Structure 1
Amino acid sequence: MFDKKRRLFIIMISLIIIVGLIGFTLRDRANLTMVEDFVHDSVGWVQEIVNKPIAFTTGIVNNIKEVRNVYRENQVLKSNLEELRQLKYSNQELTQELEELQEILDKTESDFLQNFDTIQASVTARSKDQWFKQVTINKGTQDGVQPNMAVITGSGMIGKVQTSSPFTSTVLLLNGFDRSNRISVNVDLSDSDNDISGFIVGYDEERELLVLEMNESNSDVEEGQVVFSSGLGGMFPKGLEIGEIKEVQADRYELTTMAYVKPSADLNDLNHVIVIDRAVIPVDAEQEGEESS
Structure 2
Amino acid sequence: MPFFRNRRLFIFLIGFIVLVALIGYSLRERDNVTMVEQFINDTVGWAQNVIHVPVTFITDIISNIDDLRNTYNENQILREQLGQYKGLIYEVQELKEENEELKNALELTESDSIREFDAIQATVISRSPEQWLDEVTINKGKQHGIRENMVVITAEGMVGKIQTAQQYTSKVQLLTGFDQFNRISATISREEGNDIFGMIEGFDNETGTLLFRIIEESEKDVDEDELVVSSGMGGVFPAGMVIGTVKDVVPDQYGLTRTALVEPAADMYEINHVMVLDRAAAEVEEVEEEEEE
Task: Place the TM-score, normalised by the shorter chain, in its bin.
Answer: 0.7 to 0.9
TM-score with structure 1 setting the length: 0.86
Contact 1:158 1:265 in 2 (8 A): yes
Instruction: Provide the C-alpha distance between the structure 2 equivalents of 1:256 and 1:132, rounded to a whole number of angstroms.
Output: 27
Q: 1:2 to 1:243 in 2, by over 3 A?
A: closer
Q: Which residue of 2 aligns with 1:142?
A: 143
Residue aligning to 2:206: 206
Which residue is equivalent to 2:56?
A: 55
2 CA distance for matches of 1:89 and 1:78?
16
Deviation per CA, 1:133-177, whole angstroms, max 9, x where unpaired?
Answer: 122222223322222211101111001112223332221110111
CA distance, structure 1, for counterparts of residue 42 and residue 291 of structure 2: 110
Between 37-46 and 136-145, the greater mean CA deviation after superposition: 136-145
Q: Secondary structure at the match of 1:181?
A: coil
Aligned to 1:28: 29
- C-alpha contact (below 8 Å) 1:217/1:254 kept by paired residues: no
How far off is 1:63 after superposition? 1.1
Aligned residues of 2:122 and 2:138 also touching (Cα < 8 A):
yes
Q: CA deviation at 1:278?
A: 4.2
Equivalents in 2 of 1:126, 1:12: separation in Å?
105
Tell whether 2:91 aligns with 1:90: yes
- Structure 2 gaps of 5+ residues are none
Shift of 1:280: 8.6
In 2, distance between residues paired with 1:5 and 1:119? 121
Do the aligned partners of 2:132 and 2:269 also contact (CA within 8 Å) in 1?
Answer: no
Q: Partner of 1:155 in structure 2? A: 156
Identity %: 49
**Kept after mapping to 2: 8 A contact 1:209/1:262:** yes
**Counterpart in 1 of 2:70?**
69
* Aligned 1:212-251 pairs, distance under 5 A: 212-214=212-214, 215-251=216-252
Q: 1:36 to 1:258 in 2, by over 3 A?
A: same
Question: How far off its partner does 1:185 sit?
Answer: 1.3
CA spacing shift, 1:24–1:195, aligned 2, 3 Å? same
Unaligned runs of at least 5 residues, structure 1 = none
Q: Deviations over 1:100-130 (max 9, x none)?
A: 2222222112121111122112222224543
Residue pair 1:236, 1:278 contacting (<8 A) in 2 also: no
Distance across 2 between alignment mates of 1:9 and 1:165: 118
- Whether contact under 8 Å (1:150, 1:160) holds in the other structure is yes
Asked if 1 retains the 8 angstrom alpha-carbon contact of 2:231 and 2:238, the reply is yes
Q: What CA distance in whole angstroms lies between the structure 1 residues aligned with 2:70 and 2:10?
A: 69
Residues 31 and 141 from structure 1, CA distance in 2 versus in 1: closer, same or farther, beyond 3 angstroms? same
Q: 1:40 to 1:185 in 2, by over 3 A?
A: same
CA separation in 2, counterparts of 1:212 and 1:70? 63
Task: Please say if residues 186 and 200 of structure 2, whose CA atoms lie closer than 8 Å, have aligned partners that are also in contact.
Answer: yes
Deviation at 1:241, TM superposition (A): 0.7
For 1:223-252, what per-residue CA distance to the aligned partner results, in whole angstroms no more than 9, with x for missing partners?
A: 212211112232211111111212212223
The answer to whether the Cα contact below 8 Å between 2:133 and 2:268 also exists between their aligned partners in 1 is: no
User: Aligned equivalents of 2:32 and 2:265: distance in 1?
Assistant: 101
Query: 1:217, 1:257 within 8 Å by CA — same for their partners in 2?
Result: no
Deviation, structure 1 residue 9: 9.0
CA distance in 2, matches of 1:147, 1:251: 34
Shift of 1:253: 2.8
Q: What is the aligned partner in structure 2 of residue 180 from structure 1? A: 181
Q: Deviations over 1:72-91 (max 9, x none)?
A: 11111121112112222222
Deviations 1:36-83 (A, max 9, x none): 111111111011011111111111111111111111111111211121
Contact kept? 1:121, 1:275, Cα under 8 Å: yes
How many pairs align? 291
